């Protein structure tokens, strides 16, 4: 089977290659899935560079999610049928044609959900939902500020704000993203190209600051987000897009009682009981089927063109995810 692999850590367009490897053997209790679609997420590119929270033994195959079709059901595995479309999550190495998984790593895909959405169903929707509802508990009428608001997670958070009735202040790094996100349903969109972004945040919240914030950028953008918290507010940091650490005002943490902590989906998946996980998946699946949540795709590339695909994924101004097919 064809597998995208890397034998040394580095930039994805330099170190990735497509190799022929043996089809993985089914062990007791496993299911063999023919993978058809997988997204290129920022975490995949960090993983290939050796900068992610999980460092693999080399050679390794990237990809923490995707979707496909059940090919073979091994002895002792149940809950699925051959030919069924499934989301694959909580695994490593979806950037290959076949993967083995435990039934608990698969979710049945309803007919109404396209492969393009199913391929990116797990990581970003669950992250967006769990951060703002479970972890921060942002309620109707409150203000949430987010950075990298034009990202897939950012757009999901804006859609969730409409479902839950909270207000969003959205920081983006390019002015041309402002009208697009306003049309999407953002309450306010501020470009960090404007030097007075902190004042604009205060103006939008009538001098109060925001109840909660989520930051995927870091550096000075992360610092602006942290400073925007009102007393008692909480910020979750969940991405390293700027590759700079955030200078935090520890005085604010003392005198305003603000909290800043990290969020990593991998840890949430490890600690969350099976029934709570299933309930969250069910809620999200219903929201996608009802059209209240959507995800977009900018382009699809066959696995063989993975270098072009990762170059496209690294470009600014995309209108959605880059998917690898085949």
Q: Which residues are catalytic?
A: 52
- Residue 224 binds ligand NAP (CB under 6 A): no
- Using Cβ positions, the residue closest to ligand NAP within the complex turns out to be 239
Q: Considering the rule CB under 6 A, would residue 217 count as an interface residue with ligand NAP?
A: yes
317 is an interface residue for ligand NAP by CB under 6 A: yes
Regarding 173 and contact with ligand NAP (CB under 6 A), the answer is yes
Cβ burial 118-148 (10 Å sphere, 16+ → b, else e): bbbbbbbbbbbbbbbbebbebeeebbbbbbb
The distance of closest approach from Cβ of residue 241 to ligand NAP in the complex, given in angstroms and rounded to an integer, is 4
Which residues from 285-314 bind ligand NAP, rule CB under 6 A? none
Note whether 118 and 37 are within 8 A (CB): yes
Out of 43, 94, 96, 211, the only residue in the binding site for ligand NAP (CB under 6 A) is 43
Q: What is the widest separation between alpha-carbon atoms in the chain?
A: 62
Count how many Cα atoms sit within 13 Å of the Cα of residue 125 in the half-sphere of its side chain: 24
Sign of CA dihedral 67, 72, 77, 81: positive
For residues 210 and 138, is the Cβ–Cβ distance under 8 A?
Answer: no
**Beta carbon nearer to ligand NAP, 149 or 229:** 149
* Site residues (CB under 6 A) for ligand NAP, limited to 110-139: 123-124, 127
Q: Rounded to an integer, what distance in angstroms lies between the CA atom of residue 78 and that of residue 148? A: 40
Token pair belonging to 265: 């989906």
- Determine if 148 is a binding residue for ligand NAP (CB under 6 A): yes
Q: Of 216, 285, 293, 309, which one interacts with ligand NAP (CB under 6 A)?
A: 216
264 is a contact residue toward ligand NAP (CB under 6 A): yes
The structure tokens listed for 133 are 């509802």
**What's the closest the beta carbon of residue 128 comes to ligand NAP, in angstroms?**
8
* Cβ neighbours for 60, distance < 8 A, ≥ 6 positions apart: 5, 6, 92, 93
- 36-44, 69-77, 80-88, 298-306 -> range binding ligand NAP (CB under 6 A): 36-44
Q: What is the DSSP string of 150-174?
A: TSHHHHHHHHHHHHHT-EEEEEESS
At its nearest, how many Å lie between ligand NAP and the CB of residue 22?
31
In a 3-state reduction of DSSP, which class is residue 100? strand
What is the number of other CB atoms lying within 10 angstroms of the CB of residue 163? 13
Closest to ligand NAP by CB, 255 or 264: 264
Find the shortest distance in angstroms from Cβ 182 to ligand NAP: 15
Give the other-Cβ count within 10 Å of 315's Cβ: 9
- C-beta of 216: minimal distance to ligand NAP in Å? 4
The least distance separating ligand NAP from the CB of residue 214, rounded to whole angstroms, comes to 9
Nearest distance in Å: CB 215, ligand NAP: 9
Q: Is 90 in the site for ligand NAP (CB under 6 A)?
A: no
Show the DSSP H helices in 100-206 as ranges.
Answer: 115-118, 123-129, 152-164, 178-184, 197-204
Number of residues that bind ligand NAP (CB under 6 A): 25
Q: Which pair of structure tokens corresponds to residue 144? A: 């949430």
CA 182 to chain CA centroid, Å, is: 21
Q: Does 178 bind ligand NAP (CB under 6 A)?
A: no
Convert residues 229-248 into a mask of x (bound to ligand NAP by CB under 6 A) and - (unbound).
Answer: ---------xx-xx------
194 half-sphere exposure, CB direction, 13 A CA radius: 14
150 binds ligand NAP, rule: CB under 6 A: yes
Binding site for ligand NAP (CB under 6 A): 41-43, 123-124, 127, 148, 150-153, 173-174, 216-217, 221, 238-239, 241-242, 263-265, 316-317
């Amino acid at each position: 089977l064809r597998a995208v692999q890397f034998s040394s850590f580095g930039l994805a367009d330099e170190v990735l290659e497509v190799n022929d490897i043996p089809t993985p053997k089914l062990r007791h209790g496993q299911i063999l899935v023919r993978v058809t679609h997988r997204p290129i997420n920022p975490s995949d590119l960090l993983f290939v560079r050796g900068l992610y929270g999980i460092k693999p033994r080399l050679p390794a195959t990237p990809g923490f999610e995707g979707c496909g079709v059940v090919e073979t059901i091994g002895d002792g595995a149940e809950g699925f049928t051959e030919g069924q479309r499934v989301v694959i999550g909580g695994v490593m190495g979806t950037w290959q044609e076949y993967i083995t998984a435990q039934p608990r790593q698969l979710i049945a895909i309803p007919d109404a959900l396209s492969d393009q959405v199913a391929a990116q169903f797990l990581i970003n929707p669950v992250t967006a939902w769990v951060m703002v509802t479970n972890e921060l508990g942002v309620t109707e009428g409150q203000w949430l500020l987010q950075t990298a608001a034009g990202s897939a997670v950012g757009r999901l958070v804006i859609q969730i704000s409409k479902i839950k009735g909270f207000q969003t202040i959205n920081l983006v790094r390019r002015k041309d993203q402002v009208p697009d996100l306003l049309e999407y349903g953002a309450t306010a969109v501020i470009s960090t190209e404007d030097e007075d972004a902190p004042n604009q945040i205060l103006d939008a919240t009538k001098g109060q600051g925001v109840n909660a914030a989520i930051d995927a950028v870091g550096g000075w953008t992360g610092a602006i987000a942290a400073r925007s918290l009102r007393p008692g507010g909480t910020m979750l940091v969940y991405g390293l897009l700027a590759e700079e650490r955030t200078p935090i005002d520890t005085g604010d943490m003392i005198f305003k009682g603000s909290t800043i902590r990290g969020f990593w989906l991998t840890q949430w998946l490890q600690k969350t009981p099976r029934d709570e996980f299933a309930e969250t998946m069910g809620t999200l699946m219903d929201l996608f089927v009802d059209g209240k949540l959507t995800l977009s795709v900018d382009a699809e590339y066959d696995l063989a063109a993975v270098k072009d695909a990762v170059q496209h994924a690294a470009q600014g101004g995309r209108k959605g995810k880059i998917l690898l097919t085949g």
